[in-house]
């Protein structure tokens, strides 16, 4: 609602700035519409920054998954409008000056205040958008993509100032100037406070270091972390942090890992599988290594539950937040079910711990090892091929509609589980996910 309100206000300010009075000529029409696309693009760009600035109460309200989805949607929309703004304004000025388009581009870039900075910022935003396209993103390591994505902040910082210096919609109206300076400062302040200041304060307060490294299986290790006053972190089982281990090459790159055990005020535990450079190096991190973190993030916690009963469905390393949640969540014996999928039995992590939870807390644990189905997209192993996914789920958990369902695993697998859960009659508000995608 706030985003729509801000865009409506931008349109009102454009009309107030005589945007609709310049439509009598081709040059005036192109210029007026170009101004509007630029204004809305700038507004969306700032909203995009706010969505991903990790404001705690916003993150708790929507969850990181939903914020990332909205951030991506707003980003592509803003970029499309920005391209439209550049094209329309260039054509408008070329028609007004009666010169060629390329000559007008050169004139705009080299003679107008702030346009060189805007050009550099646009180039950076183009790079970020291109590397955010799914087909390109899949070819990049997470660490590389994350580092490239940080250039978006520089791109925003370089692309916007020319509007303050030369844009009539900014400098001719005190009301418009007040609005734009307010939203610029709000976006910059959110980044400085919540992406810079708060992490610095938390790291200085808690001073995490590696306590021990424990192998959990082939290519999987758990890292135990100790620090000061960890109870003040207010981390919940099911949440994740972005971690930087200050040892060796790659220490500047953050990697998201969920807590794999409920936080107890003394230690935090994360578990990672060898899926890339960042996770691979954890097996060799020395005890005592300083750890820098951001977080906690995520809404895959007991606080989102609506029902007394709960079913958890995990695949592979996706067991990590659900393992922690099973330990901490408020339920009675017989009220919790875990369905754990892996391609083979060795891929089932924490079996001893899960079996212990089954004994001590009354969790019903159903292991689902086996190869994938080849003839249909399914989250179940091949030996369930004769049964539809929704029916199989109802056979395993007959009262599934009375459960909150927590799902964690790879993106495509998660989509298949969600479809199965919805077909089994579980309302959307009782389905909670944590996607292993970026």
Tell which wins on pLDDT, 253 or 136.
Answer: 253
Residue-level pLDDT at 436? 56
- How far is it, in rounded angstroms, from Cα 379 to Cα 253? 32
- The least confident of 49-63, 251-265, 275-289 is 275-289
Contacts of 96 (CB under 8 A, 6+ apart): 27, 31
Cis peptide before 296 (omega within 30 of 0): yes
Residue identified by tokens 């750890």 is 291
Task: Provide mean pLDDT across the span 411-425.
Answer: 92
Q: Which phi-psi region, left, alpha or beta, contains residue 298 (left: φ > 0; alpha: ψ -120 to 50)?
A: left
- The least confident of 103-112, 227-236, 317-326, 363-372 is 103-112
- How far is it, in rounded angstroms, from Cα 249 to Cα 255? 14
8 Å CB contact between 395 and 303: no
Indicate yes or no: pTM above 0.85. no
Task: Provide mean pLDDT across the span 90-109.
Answer: 82
Task: Provide mean pLDDT across the span 180-196.
Answer: 89
Q: Could you give the strand order of the β-sheet that contains 267-273, starting from the edge strand earlier in sequence?
A: 209-217, 220-226, 267-273
Residue-level pLDDT at 135? 67
Whether the pLDDT of residue 348 is over 60: the answer is yes
8 Å CB contact between 379 and 423: no
Contacts of 145 (CB under 8 A, 6+ apart): 131, 137, 438
- How far is it, in rounded angstroms, from Cα 403 to Cα 416? 18
Whether the pLDDT of residue 41 is over 80: the answer is yes
Identify which of 318, 348, 352, 322 has the alpha carbon closest to the alpha carbon of residue 337.
322
- The least confident of 107-111, 150-154, 360-364 is 150-154
Residue identified by tokens 């976006």 is 187
Handedness of CA 402, 403, 404, 409 (dihedral sign): negative
- How far is it, in rounded angstroms, from Cα 248 to Cα 270? 19
Residue 364 bridge partners (DSSP): 337
Tell which wins on pLDDT, 212 or 157.
Answer: 212
* DSSP secondary structure string for all residues of 228-278: SSGGGG---TT-EEEEEE-SSTTTTS-EEEEBSS---SSEEEEEEESSSHH
Handedness of CA 302, 232, 60, 299 (dihedral sign): negative
8 Å CB contact between 118 and 82: no
Residue 432 bridge partners (DSSP): 406
Whether the pLDDT of residue 278 is over 60: the answer is no
Whether the pLDDT of residue 237 is over 90: the answer is yes
8 Å CB contact between 207 and 249: no
Tell which wins on pLDDT, 181 or 132.
Answer: 181
Identify which of 67, 70, 78 has the alpha carbon closest to the alpha carbon of residue 42.
78
In this structure, the number of other CB atoms found within 10 A of the CB of residue 299 comes to: 20
Token code pair at residue 152:
């978006």
3-state secondary structure 419-430: HHHHHCCCCHHH
Percent residues over pLDDT 70 in the chain: 90
What 3-state class would DSSP assign to 217? strand
Identify which of 131, 170, 172, 173 has the alpha carbon closest to the alpha carbon of residue 150.
131
Confidence label for 363 from pLDDT (cuts 50, 70 and 90): very high
Residue-level pLDDT at 259? 96
Whether the pLDDT of residue 208 is over 90: the answer is yes
Across all residues in the chain, what is the average pLDDT? 85
Task: Provide mean pLDDT across the span 183-209.
Answer: 93
């Amino acid at each position: 609602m706030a985003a729509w309100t801000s865009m409506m206000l931008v349109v009102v300010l454009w009309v107030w700035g005589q945007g609709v009075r310049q439509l009598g000529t081709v040059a005036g029409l192109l210029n007026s519409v170009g101004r509007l696309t630029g204004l809305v693009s700038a507004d969306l760009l700032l909203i995009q920054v706010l969505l991903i600035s990790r404001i705690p109460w916003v993150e708790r309200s929507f969850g990181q998954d939903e914020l990332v989805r909205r951030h991506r949607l707003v980003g592509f929309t803003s970029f499309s409008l920005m391209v439209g703004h550049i094209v329309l304004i260039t054509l408008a000025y070329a028609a007004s000056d009666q010169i060629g388009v390329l000559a007008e581009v050169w004139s705009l870039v080299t003679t107008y205040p702030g346009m060189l900075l805007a050009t550099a910022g646009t180039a950076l935003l183009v790079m970020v958008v291109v590397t955010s396209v799914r087909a390109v993103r899949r070819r990049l390591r997470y660490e590389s993509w994350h580092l490239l994505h940080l250039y978006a902040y520089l791109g925003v910082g370089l692309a916007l100032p020319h509007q303050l210096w030369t844009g009539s919609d900014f400098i001719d109206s005190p009301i418009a100037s007040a609005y734009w300076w307010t939203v610029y400062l709000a976006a910059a302040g959110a980044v400085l406070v919540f992406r810079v200041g708060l992490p610095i304060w938390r790291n200085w307060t808690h001073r995490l270091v590696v306590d021990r490294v424990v192998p959990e299986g082939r290519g999987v290790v758990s890292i135990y972390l100790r620090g000061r006053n960890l109870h003040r972190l207010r981390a919940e089982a099911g949440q994740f942090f972005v971690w930087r281990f200050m040892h060796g090459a790659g220490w500047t790159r953050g990697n998201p890992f969920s807590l794999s055990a409920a936080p107890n005020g003394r230690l935090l535990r994360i578990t990672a599988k060898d899926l890339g450079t960042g996770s691979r190096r954890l097996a060799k991190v020395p005890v005592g290594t300083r750890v820098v973190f951001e977080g906690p993030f995520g809404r895959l916690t007991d606080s989102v539950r609506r029902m007394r009963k709960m079913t958890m469905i995990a695949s592979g390393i996706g067991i990590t937040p659900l393992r922690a949640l099973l330990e901490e969540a408020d339920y009675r014996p017989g009220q919790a079910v875990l369905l754990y999928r892996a391609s083979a039995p060795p891929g089932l992590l924490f079996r001893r711990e899960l079996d212990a939870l089954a004994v001590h807390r009354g969790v019903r644990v159903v292991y689902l090892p086996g190869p994938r189905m080849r003839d249909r997209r399914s989250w179940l192993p091949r030996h369930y091929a004769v049964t539809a996914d929704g029916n199989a789920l109802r056979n395993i958990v007959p009262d599934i509609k009375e459960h909150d369902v927590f799902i964690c695993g790879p993106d495509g697998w998660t989509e298949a589980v969600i479809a199965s859960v919805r077909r089994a009659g579980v309302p959307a508000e009782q389905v909670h996910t944590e996607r292993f995608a970026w």
